[in-house]
Chain A
Amino acid sequence: MSRQIALDAARRGFLFFMLAFFLLPFIWLATTAYKPSIDIFSIPPRFGFTPTLDQFRKALSVFDVPSLVRSSIFIAGGSMVLSLLLGVPAGYALARSSHRLAMALAYFFMSIRMVPAVAALIPFYLMMRDIGLVGHWFSVVLINCVLNTAFVTYMMYSYFRALPKELEEAALTDGCHQFSAFWRVSLPAVRSGIVASALFCVLFSWNDFLFAMFLTQLDSKPISVALLSAYGTKDITWGTLGALAHFSTIPIVLIVLFLNRYFVQGLTKGVH
């Protein structure tokens, strides 16, 4: 029995160590934003400091934060809505079809997610240039949506497949229209899958900066791109960067913490 207790203590200790390992770097960045510049640049580095909001004032004066956040929201929200509109019905159709092409298509959608982004980005960039969309946030939505639609289709395919067909067959026999059988019977039953899909679309597109870096310009760039350009600028200190990073990381971390159940479910189920 004492062996069991020792084992449990070791387990807890290991987990506490891991918590520190995975959380401290993030906490460091978050706290940098509240340090006066003098404490950030002190040599040797100091741990204690008097909290101040100066860095936020600086960040808000140097950057047009509302516009950056607005672009990020447009990009993340836009690609979430479009991907769900395209991906959820497609996932349903593939799951309900018994044709052998259906499964092949499901795998096709899954494999799209694995494509290295540059392979598509360079030709996509030229495509957008030809139709005059380079510089507009909508072009970022369009390319994010390729990966997201493919992801949502595959994820919803596995959710709909886990759903018993009988439910909807009963509705169909009762003379229910096919679309309303889908809309009123099947869709509510996979609500958690839809929340998880939406969450991942937002996460992917909010966090992307490769696409946005090349497809947006000054007035349409999202916060991630601004962070990159802020870094290495002469009068931008780590504190200001930390303050700016708040706007990029805190919303998404909070959303994920709030919807944690769906996040975990999606990660363990959707990736299969």
Chain B
Amino acid sequence: MALSASTEPLVNQFAGFGGLTFAQRRKMFLIAMALPALVYVLGFGVYPLLKGIWYSLYDYNLLKPARTEFIGFGNYVELMFDSDMQRSLINTIVFTASAVFFELVLGFAIALALWRDDRFNRICLTLILIPVTITPLVVGLIFKGLLLADYGLIGYYLAQWGLSDPRGLFASQNTALATLVFIDIWEWTPLVALILLAGLKALPTDILEAAAVDGAKPLRIFRKITLPLMLPSVLLALTIRTIDAFRVFDSVFVTTGGGPGNATNTLMVYAVKEGLSFFNIGKASAIANVSLLCTAIIAAALIFLIRHYDKKASTQ
């Protein structure tokens, strides 16, 4: 893994260092700068990930280490017929798809409203970003508290007026996942709005103005010009949010812990429960790897799309 220098043609007269040319010294310097980070991430990040793939091929439980046995793809085959796994996978997909969809729609609306650069909008943006900074765990606690059926500020009335299960939104199989989607929307829409706002501000204003001068209706300008030009930003927000929503953990863990039943079990929650509560390392690693594989596929597909539109935009 050699990193060659970018300043090659420069300064060969300073080749005093052990007979090395400047280009060679430059190369060594850049390698020395990059190596610590690379070694660190490989050692503490990639090595555990590979170890996880290795563990997933074993029947390995920390509570009975003597009975560890190599079972090949046994854990994965078992997961294919595991109803909890199927439910977790479906929950994760439904959660991700609906949360990201609403976040994009609402985020776009907010970005459009904040487009014009004035004092009010700048203050508004600063304040709207607060949910993104709050500890996700605390976000879970906030909504748990607000939605408690017995004395929560909102939950009490929802239950009284028969709008929710008498035991609260989190206690019903029908509403628990939707409530978690709502929490995710609250927490992450501001981020989407910010990314889209950055995209809007980078739009070529002359085209938009020309269209307006030509008498095009605002809605038509939006559909025919703004939206297509915004596609790269939308895809970027979509990528970031899809990958993050797919590994949702904190808010689910605090509010429902995957319940009632397994109505809100997601892949991450399921893997954490199996691995770090039941110490079933083999199975938990397999679940985590399925989640890793899904993330990789989603990321690859979305990055391919982004590249595709980038190319199209640059050839136009």
Contacts and interface: CB of A to CB of B under 8 A. Distances in A.
Contacts of A26: 130-131, 134, 142
B34 A25 contact: no
Interface stretch (A40-48, A49-57, A61-69): A40-48
A25 B7 contact: no
Interface in B258-313: 267-268, 271-272, 275-276, 281, 284-285, 287-289, 291-292, 295, 299
Interface string B26-65: 1001110110111011001111110110010000000000
Contacts of B190: 22
Contacts of B51: 123, 126-127
A86 B36 CA distance: 6
* Residue of A93, A149, A173, A175 contacting most chain B CB atoms (<10 Å): A93
B14 interface: yes
Given A178-B29, A207-B135, A169 B128 contact: no
Interface stretch (B93-101, B167-175, B204-212, B241-249): B241-249
B31 A248 contact: no
Contact of B247 (A47, A116, A146, A182): A116
Interface in A145-200: 145-147, 149-150, 153, 165, 169, 172-173, 175, 178-179, 182
A267 B276 contact: no
Contacts of A179: 29
Interface string A87-111: 1011011101111011001000101
Contacts of A12: 120
A15 B136 contact: no
Given A90-B38, A268-B194, A41 B151 contact: yes
A173 B279 CA distance: 59
Contact of B125 (A126, A147, A173, A264): A264
Contact of A22 (B131, B151, B291): B131
A1 interface: no
Contacts of A28: 142, 145-146, 153
B231 interface: no
| Chain B interface helix/strand/loop/mixed | helix
Contact of B49 (A85, A120, A227): A120
Contacts of A11: 113
Contacts of A118: 249, 268, 271-272, 275, 284, 287-288, 291
A131 B82 CA distance: 35
A255 B142 CA distance: 21
A126 B45 CA distance: 13
Interface string B106-147: 000110011000001100111111110111111001111110
A264 B128 CA distance: 12
A112 B45 contact: yes
Contacts of B194: 264, 267-268
A227 B138 contact: yes
Nearest to B22: A172
Chain B contact residues (Cβ within 8 angstroms of A): what range? 35 or more
Contact of A248 (B48, B135, B250, B295): B135
Given A101-B3, A115-B295, A209 B41 contact: no
Contacts of B316: none
A81 interface: no
A73 interface: no
Interface residues of A, number: 95
A125 B276 contact: yes
Nearest to A203: B133
B240 interface: yes
A127 B48 contact: yes
A124 B52 CA distance: 9
Interface in B1-36: 1-7, 10-11, 14, 25-26, 29-31, 33-34, 36
Contacts of A60: none
A23 B152 CA distance: 17
A263 B198 contact: no
B46 to A, nearest CB: 8
Contacts of B136: 207, 209
Contacts of B1: 101, 105
B145 A19 contact: no
Given A122-B285, A124-B48, A267-B195, A227 B141 contact: yes
A98 B150 contact: no
A124 to B, nearest CB: 5
Interface of A: 11-12, 14-15, 18-19, 21-23, 25-26, 28-29, 32, 40-45, 47, 85-87, 89-90, 92-94, 96-99, 101-102, 105, 109, 111-112, 114-127, 142-143, 145-147, 149-150, 153, 165, 169, 172-173, 175, 178-179, 182, 203, 206-207, 209-210, 214, 224, 227-228, 231, 238, 241, 245, 248-249, 252-253, 256-257, 260, 263-264, 267-268, 271-272
